[in-house]
Structure 1
Amino acid sequence: MREGKMMRAALAMAALGLGLAGCNAWPFGGEVTVAESAVPYEDEDAFIADLVSRMSLERKIGQLIQPQINAFTPEDMERYRFGSYLNGGNGGPYGDEFAPASEWLRYSDEMYAASIEPLPGDEPIIPTMWGTDAVHGHTNVVGATIFPHNIALGAAGDAELVRRIGEATAVEIEVTGIDWNFSPTVAVAQDDRWGRTYESYSEDPDLVAELGAALVEGLQGHPGDDDFLGDGHVIATAKHFFGDGGTQDGVDQGEVNGNIDDLVALHGRPYPATIDAGVETVMASFNSINGQKMHGNRDLLTDVLRGEMGFDGLVVGDWNGHSQVAGCTVTDCPQSLLAGLDIYMVPDDWQELMETLLAQVEDGTIPMERVDEAVTRVLRVKYRAGLLAPEPVLPSERGVGGQFELLASAEHRALAREAVARSQVVLKNNGVLPLQAGARVLVAGSAADDIGRASGGWTLEWQGGLESEMGESEGKVGELFPNATSIWDGMLENISAGGGTAVLSPDGSFDERPDVAVVVFGEKPYAEFAGDQGDLVFRDTEGLELLRRFREQGIPTVAVFLSGRPMWMNRELNAADAFVAAWLPGSEGAGVADVLTGARPATGRLSFSWPASCEGTPVNGPQGALFPLGFGRELDDTSTLRQLDEGCAALDNFDSSDLFSSGRLATGVVAYAAGGNLETAMDMLSQMRGTSTAAGIAATGIDRDAQEDARRIVMQAGARFGIVQSNGGEGAFRITYRVEGRPAAPVTLTLRDDESGDETVIDVTRQFEHAALKGWREMLITEACAPGLGNAFEISTQARLTIGIAEVRREELPQGTACTF
């Protein structure tokens, strides 16, 4: 059955309006009954009101709960009838985040079927819907097109291009049976130290409004058109309402202060444009406005968003965002519903929250009118998306469901390549660009042939970076990026087509002297708060050292900088003959090569000011900018860039005290799993996540204070887990940890100095027995029990052991400070 979604919605209203009752055979077993109604409906409001009037309180509350797929089962779906569910950034069907597209679709069918099992009496069946973060293409799914991140699309500055990307993304989402995209982000980022800057199109609110509305239209279709939310389209979400890009010091989920009218004029400006474009959902933001968390801010969620802006869709929360409201917990927060939230995103603790909400309606804390209002909004979106049809339609039978050849189709990949090329911003060119036909080109830098690095966060995993962390030894690189072209691949293609030769040399070495060297380098992937920085210094000197070495050898250079934000690059700009801000281009690195070789013009223009200072003072605006908003050179612009000041006090103030915090390992810190002999069985754990079968260790993300800001380490007998710091940290180790069960055999803690080989082994069995099941605690390891301390620690166990780790720090403490557990 492949009739359009709006046609199915019309049939639903007509069927119920004419009082048609009946039973439909269902391939998963049982029958699906369309409840009879005698009311002749003529509009969606009356239709939805009738449905709401016949729902039990438990089913209504179920519509307001959104768990993640790793935390519930199809049986739970049938029992509780969740109105929606999501896959988190590290979630996948059946526990496999790298599952093939066919498994995503099978899971969607299974959950949909569970949500429409027959109910007793006259209670209507309301199908569920699946939401996902497809923020730069359907990038949770292996093999999908990976488009450039929003900051790059802002540099391209073309609303029609963004609309086309929305269309392509919607098609790929629907192929896997998913209904709802948590995109676009319409933040107006004002401080580039913010870890989500790359999710913002621009510091200019008008450009954000234009491009955000274009993506909404691409995802959903144009309001009023026959194909609005029809086949090949999905539900869009404008997020995060509002102020997420204006927090103090660029701290994610932080505080935004100021005159409310001024804040709405700046950070709220994109929302009317997306509402006019027909956006059906808005996501509440984590941040506070003048001290009040947005998930509990009625003045803004209800009075401004709905009253002043006229939004009539549903408001969905962010990951446990309601728990940050004053007086709330994850499982108890009537304040959010009363403020205007319609769906609680409660990934793991959904059952307790449902029970609490039911009790609060029954005791009058939450008026039934407010529940009905929220449920009505959820059903209205489902109606418009064609999900309330009289006849059940499996996701695999809707629109383009199951047409896997559309994932990374030739058309979509060509669109992504075009977007990459149009987003490249040339900041400097002494005449080396475009690369001359027939030239010998050396392509250097570890990022040149790394698709994961070029794609950034929100790529297969929440934090991204799979390829750069994994290495070829894992044998999965090609499997995870099967439909992609690295920058090196693109360079080889374009240089060869022009009669030249290209050589890949990550370390910059060569046998035959090149005519020019292209150095590809940049930030390692991150997402959300894990990307927050205290300044705008880029401390990885790999690219700088290569550029300086080539300059000393008299070899012209082109710097290709991969980043999620503008950064202080004075040293690299001075060292390079040409400098290109390539942003996070995604899966079509050939688009970068197209510009470098002149196959396409350099039309990208900065959508964010470029900083002249490294300290991190916001430069969004002309004051303090090295390159202003809108700057960008064409390839024939070879005007001289003056020598830039390379002084930066922040370079000498690097804080090496944090080894692991906010769910992120610091630069120069690695985590490993080992079993038996350390030298013979060791696996790196990217960002302290992953599984080592040989070592018997599984490390997964868990929530302590924020999404996946801590880790659960499950260790089998004989396993070792360790963290090594290579950047010269000093002082005691302070570790925030918990023990999730009494040890059944000896547990040891080893402190090691990799340089000297010295180590101290401490039996911590008794301490872990005492700490078991007592929540988060601090372990302080000082010279008193571990002379020399060293640069690494390791935990080993002789029986299965599960521990949590939330933070690892180094601290200078007074001599004689005792060790504690």
Structure 2
Amino acid sequence: MRYIALALATGLGLSACATVPSAVPAQTSPVASAEDLAEAEIADIVSRMSLERKIGQLIQPQINSFTPEDMERYRFGSYLNGGNGGPYGDEFAPASEWLRYADEMYDASVKPLPDGEPVIPTMWGTDAVHGHSNIVGATIFPHNIALGATGDAELVQRIGHATAIEIEVTGIDWNFSPTVAVARDDRWGRTYESYSEDPDLVAKLGAALIVGQQGTPDSEDFLGDGRVFVTAKHFFGDGGTERGVDQGDVNGDINALLDLHGRPYPAAIDAGVQAVMASFNSINGRKMHGNKELLTDVLRGQMGFDGLVVGDWNGHGQIKGCTVTDCPQSLMAGLDIYMVPDDWKVLMETLIAQVKDGTIPMARVDEAVTRVLRVKQRAGLLGENAKRPSERGVAGQYDLLASLEHRALAREAVAKSQVLLKNDGVLPLKAGANVLVAGSAADDVGQQSGGWTLEWQGGRKDTLPRDYFPKATSIWDGIKENVTAEGGSATLSEDGSFEARPDIAIVVFGEHPYAEFAGDQRNLVFRDEEGLTLLRQFDEQDIPTVAVFLSGRAMWMNREINAADAFVASWLPGSEGAGVADVLTGKREATGRLSFSWPASCEGQPVNSPEGALFAFGYGRTLSDNSPLATLNEDCGALSVVEGSELFGSGRLGSGVSAFVGRLDGAGFEELMPQMRGDMNGSGVLVRGFDRDAQEDSREITMRAGSYFGLEQSNNTGGVYRIAYEVVTRPAGTIRLRSGNAVLDVTAQFELATAKGFREMVVTESCLAGLGKRIAFESDGDVTFRISSVKREEVAEGTECSF
């Protein structure tokens, strides 16, 4: 590796009067290596830091929870922007604001300290998991599951470099990527973050992305200009939880688990990865954030990792005996940085007290701080050559965001990731054809990009309109471009209607965006029948069809495959949808191959082998392969199972459910609140994400006098309403609950519940007769409360309301 020698520079790691400690030998033979000198100078810095400054290096808050003044006061070693965080409270801020904010935080972190104590620049971490995907106007590359289908390590390395360049443009130092999970159950909501079910393919592509972003170890380019340091995550076993439950349990023989889920990590370490993120999951009943045998003995002792270990979002708080603000167990287990988004101040105070009373040895604190400084030194953040974010490399060169070169790279990746599962001779599209493009996803860059795109959960065109993707191409754009170039015509009709009969119809449909636990599934049934209805509609009219399926996983699609003449697994292609059209029109060959087995059964049992797979790992047709596919069995017991009617849970609205707000006096129009989050100034309602058990799994709702807020189902599923809620502030006026024509005064119940934690209300016909598909809270005074879930369910007749 390349090591940048630390300079004795005031304000950049060492005070002007510092000297190399006497423990470092004089110039004798053999001469001390650059690595030895770097370690000695880091040791000198640590020896002169106060306890408060040391603990500050181990704390990582999110930008929405602190200010530059807090940075100057507490000197956090690092900070992050969460999936819905942005500079100055604006997640959609232009790139220039991200860079300005990086400078502001950096400047606050290097202001002189009293008594010559060394100052240490902070660093900013971000989740750029498929391109610099938090930034409006950046290149959004295909998600990892798509890159796995390319099988092309050289391509992935180039994507890594392009991503690092775009990250550096905005002044950010650190990327929480790549995910090197080996997903073994496609019901897991993070399956699309995994390259493959095959650990060797994951190891190869993960290492390639690391080299692309950091540069090659031992070269002058390592962590140089246009590079950022990265994180292999999540150590370990995140892709192997029981039933694919995010943050769940992984059980089995530890050596077998390490051979499968741990296999990508030695490759990542050999590639020079500088950080590893601890996983939320448990291994044989023990949470990883507190597992010393694995975080220290295996990761460091056996695998030889010498970088830093960072926690995940409040992951330390899930350890038995811990809270978010009190968890010495994580530090003692081998965690070096606590990711504590909001409760950083109390955690800092607790850790300082625990060092002072001997609960945490100072030697362990020094070890963790040393690891943090070692990574900063390698990344060029210490020493006389350290620079403000805006003065580094390509910082501020905004034309590099979604540059023509990067867009061409993304388009290449999209084309290489398309997996052709069926083709009855309709592909490639014939030159001069009259093509109809149908489906609500056809012209929706947000949907084709999936989760972790501008917002944590991603969004569709109703929440992420096209102007948020100024340089992108939708799948429709690409089809129109390619078809017209070949002398044909293309028409967009989301509902499939037409005046002139088309020669062929392309139906674009798929999963709506999601991230993490919000994407967990009970089975592999794709329930949204928009695409199926369109395919059958065209089939009845004898119009040939091509199905383009957008998804973050392989799913049971037998009905759609039967109804289509060609079926393409398009995954989540990102901002260059034209790459999909390149394959449909034959501009590029179909070279994508499944990196996950495609299920024959809808029930959701893990496949991961040819047995039980409709299409095995590695399957994929060329455009010339028109061999017939037998009619598939469409029987699926899970289709008849009513999964209940969860209106809101795990941080997202249920299918067919919308949130709405308005004014009781009728002023203005009722407004929808997509993703149940936002500030509707016209109504006086503010809804923001709140962490109850996991990141933004709940909502905090602030209502001003004269406002209302509610949820509505597209169909009335019946049953009582069961709501998990917490009242934060005592209502300043009457609070009512309304459903259908019935109204219930719940002021007294809210007053009683104030500041008493989460509780449950069950609203039945006994207190709110005629329950309908719509339920709303109305407020005559200011009030703040929280909701973590809203469900409709059947209960025994005569069940009373309860609060």
TM-score, reference length from structure 1? 0.95
CA deviation after TM superposition for structure 1 residue 676, in Å: 3.5
- C-alpha deviations, 1:103-131, integer Å up to 9, x for none? 00000000000000001123111100000
- Residue of 281, 285, 289 corresponding to 2:275: 281
Residues 452-508 of structure 1, C-alpha deviations (whole Å, 9 max, x = no match) = 0000000000000142x33xxxxx723311111000011110001000000000000
Give the drift of 1:181: 0.1
* Counterpart code for 1:68: Q
Secondary structure of the corresponding residue to residue 688 of structure 2: strand
Map of 1:27 onto structure 2: none
3-state SS, counterpart of residue 806 of structure 1:
strand
Supply the distance in 2 between the matched residues of 1:443 and 1:602 (Cα, whole angstroms). 20
- Which whole-Å CA distance do the structure 1 matches of 2:455 and 2:146 have between them? 20
Aligned residues: 791
Per-residue deviation, 1:657: 3.0
CA distance in 1, matches of 2:299, 2:542: 59
1:774 is matched with which residue? 756
Structure-2 change in CA distance of 1:212 and 1:38 (3 Å): closer
Question: What is the aligned partner in structure 2 of residue 760 from structure 1?
Answer: 742
Q: Cα deviations across residues 356-390 of structure 1 (Å, max 9, x unaligned)?
A: 10111111111111111100000000000000022
Does residue 659 of the first structure (1) align with residue 647 of the second (2)? yes
Q: What SS does the aligned partner of 1:530 have? A: helix
> Which ranges in structure 2 are unaligned for 5 or more consecutive residues?
25-31
Shift of 1:539: 0.2
Counterpart residue number, 2:677: 689
Deviations 1:46-77 (A, max 9, x none): 11111111111110100000000000110110
1:445-464 pair list within 5 angstroms: 445-464=439-458
Whether the 8 Å CA contact 1:156–1:604 is kept in 2: the answer is yes
- The offset of 1:747, in angstroms, is 1.4
Residue 731 (structure 2) aligned to one of 727, 743, 747: 743
CA offsets 1:84-118 (integer angstroms, 9 cap, x no match): 00000000000000000000000000000000000
In structure 1, give the amino acid aligned to 2:650.
Answer: S
The answer (yes or no) to whether the contact 2:599–2:615 under 8 Å persists in 1 is yes
Aligned to 1:670: 658
Letter in 2 for 1:593: A
Q: Which amino acid aligns with 2:560?
A: E
Q: Shift in Å at residue 745 of structure 1?
A: 1.4
Tell me whether 1:515 sits opposite 2:503 in the alignment.
Answer: yes
Query: Which residue is equivalent to 1:397?
Result: 391
Q: Secondary structure at the match of 2:49?
A: coil
Q: Does 1:260 align with 2:254?
A: yes
8 Å Cα contact 1:32-1:117 kept in structure 2: no
1:779 Cα deviation (Å)?
1.1
Deviations 1:416-456, CA, capped at 9 Å, x for gaps? 00000000000000000000010000000000000000000
1:136 is aligned to 2:130: yes
> Is contact 2:15-2:116 (8 Å) kept?
no
Aligned match of 1:603: 591
Corresponding letter in the other structure for 2:410? A
Residue 382 of structure 1 corresponds to which residue in structure 2?
Answer: 376
Aligned to 1:621: 609
Aligned: 1:647 with 2:635 = yes
Deviations 1:686-718 (A, max 9, x none): 121122222221211010011100001111222
Describe the SS at the equivalent of 1:121.
helix
Q: Which residue of 1 aligns with 2:797?
A: 815
Counterpart Cα distance in 1 of 2:742 and 2:206 = 56
Partner of 2:721: 733
- Whether the aligned pair in 2 keeps the contact of 1:485 and 1:588 (CA below 8 Å) is yes
1:75 equivalent in alignment to 2:57: no
Cα distance, 1:524 vs structure 2: 0.1
Give the equivalent residue in structure 2 for 1:219: 213
In structure 1, distance between residues paired with 2:197 and 2:361: 41
Tell me the distance in 2 between the aligned counterparts of 1:38 and 1:303. Answer: 31
**How far 1:22 moved relative to its partner?**
5.4
- The answer to whether the Cα contact below 8 Å between 1:6 and 1:230 also exists between their aligned partners in 2 is no
Structure 2 residue 364 is the aligned partner of structure 1 residue 364: no
Alignment-derived partner of residue 504 in structure 1? 492
Task: Give the alignment partner of residue 101 of structure 1, picking from 95, 102, 114.
Answer: 95
Amino acid at match of 1:740: V
CA contact under 8 A between 2:664 and 2:778: conserved in structure 1?
Answer: no
SS at match of 1:360: helix
Q: Distance in 1 between matches of 2:288 and 2:20?
A: 42
After superposing the two structures, state which structure 1 stretch, 770-779 or 288-297, moved more. 770-779
8 Å contact from structure 1 (residues 440, 516) kept in 2: yes
User: Where do 1:189-208 residues align within 5 Å?
Assistant: 189-208=183-202
Which structure 2 residues correspond to residues 578-589 of structure 1 after superposition, within 5 A? Answer: 578-589=566-577
Distance in 2 (CA, whole Å) between partners of 1:34 and 1:772 is 55
How do residues 48-63 of structure 1 correspond to structure 2 at under 5 angstroms?
48-63=42-57
Query: Do 1:34 and 1:125's aligned partners in 2 also have CA atoms closer than 8 Å?
Result: no
Deviation at 1:78, TM superposition (A): 0.5
RMSD: 1.5
Provide the rounded CA distance (Å) in 2 between the counterparts of 1:123 and 1:550.
Answer: 73
* Offset at residue 820 of structure 1 (A): 1.5
Q: Within 5 A, what are the aligned runs for 1:482-631?
A: 482-631=470-619
Asked whether the 8 Å contact 1:331–1:349 carries over to 2, the reply is: yes
Determine if contact 2:646/2:654 at 8 Å carries over to the other structure. yes
SS in 2 for 1:170: helix
CA distance in 2, matches of 1:56, 1:22: 17
Give me the whole-angstrom Cα distance separating, in 1, the residues matched to 2:144 and 2:170. Answer: 23
Distance 1:630 1:745, change over 3 A: same
Aligned to 1:28: none
* Letter matched to residue 104 of structure 1: W
Counterpart AA for 1:609? S
The code of the aligned residue for 1:296 comes to: G
> 1:702 touches 1:712 (CA, 8 Å); kept in 2?
yes
Q: Look up the SS of the partner of 1:605 in the other structure.
A: coil
Aligned-residue offset at 1:678: 6.2
Q: Which of 238, 241, 252 does residue 247 from structure 1 map onto?
A: 241
Task: From the superposition, tell whether residues 35 and 216 of structure 1 become closer, same or farther in structure 2 (CA, over 3 Å).
Answer: farther
Distance 2:2 2:77 in 1: 20
Report the Cα distance in structure 1 between the residues aligned to 2:715 and 2:154, rounded to whole angstroms.
46
Change (3 A) 1:644 1:125: same
Contact kept, 8 Å, 1:35 with 1:124, in 2: the verdict is: no
Q: Distance in 2 between matches of 1:387 and 1:729?
A: 57
Gaps of at least 5 residues in structure 1 are 25-30, 471-475, 753-758
> Partner of 2:80 in structure 1?
86
Tell me the distance in 2 between the aligned counterparts of 1:370 and 1:790: 58
Cα pair 1:6 1:386 within 8 Å, conserved: no
CA change 1:126–1:23 in 2 (3 A) is closer
Q: After TM superposition, give the deviation of residue 33 of structure 1 in Å.
A: 5.5
Task: Identify the match of residue 794 of structure 1 among 768, 772, 776.
Answer: 776
Shift of residue 44 of structure 1?
1.5
Check the 8 A contact 1:32/1:118 in 2, yes or no. no
Distance in 2, Cα, partners of 1:197 & 1:32: 45
TM-score (norm 2): 0.97
Check conservation: 2:167, 2:228, Cα contact below 8 A.
Answer: yes
Structure 2 residue aligned with 1:177: 171
Give the one of 438, 442, 447 matched to 1:444. 438
**Does residue 427 of the first structure (1) align with residue 421 of the second (2)?**
yes
Query: Residue type of the partner of 1:89?
Result: G
1: CA distance, partners of 2:278 / 2:223: 22
Q: Is the 8 A contact 1:34 1:124 kept in 2?
A: no
CA–CA distance in 1 between the matches of 2:73 and 2:48?
18
Deviation at residue 564 of structure 1 after TM alignment: 0.1
Compute the displacement of 1:242 (Å).
Answer: 0.3
- 2:801 counterpart letter in structure 1: C
Contact 1:32 1:116 in 2 (8 A): no
Name 2:300's counterpart in structure 1.
Answer: 306
- Distance apart, 1:32 and its partner CA: 10
**Greater Cα shift, 182-191 or 765-774:** 765-774
